[in-house]
Amino acid sequence: RQGISPKSDPQYAFYDPPWTLPWNRRNEVLVEIARE
């Protein structure tokens, strides 16, 4: 989008243990943004 750019590399947030079934996992990608 115009006027928005990432400030840094994405951070990955994994909230569940690795043995959790894939369809029950909650994972997110966090991206800090900067307005131009």
Average pLDDT, the chain: 90
Strand (E) positions, the chain?
4-6, 11-14, 27-30, 33-35
pTM metric for this prediction = 0.56
Task: Give the whole-angstrom CA distance, residue 5 versus residue 32.
Answer: 9
Are the C-beta atoms of residues 13 and 28 closer than 8 Å to each other? yes
Task: Give the whole-angstrom CA distance, residue 31 versus residue 6.
Answer: 7
Question: Which pLDDT score, from 0 to 100, does residue 1 have?
Answer: 62
Residue 36 above 90 pLDDT?
Answer: no
* pLDDT band of 3, cuts 50, 70, 90: confident
Range of the domain at 10: 4-35
* pLDDT band of 32, cuts 50, 70, 90: very high
- The set of residues, in sequence order, having a beta carbon less than 8 Å from that of 35 and lying 6+ positions away, is 3, 4
Counting the structural domains of the chain, the total is 1
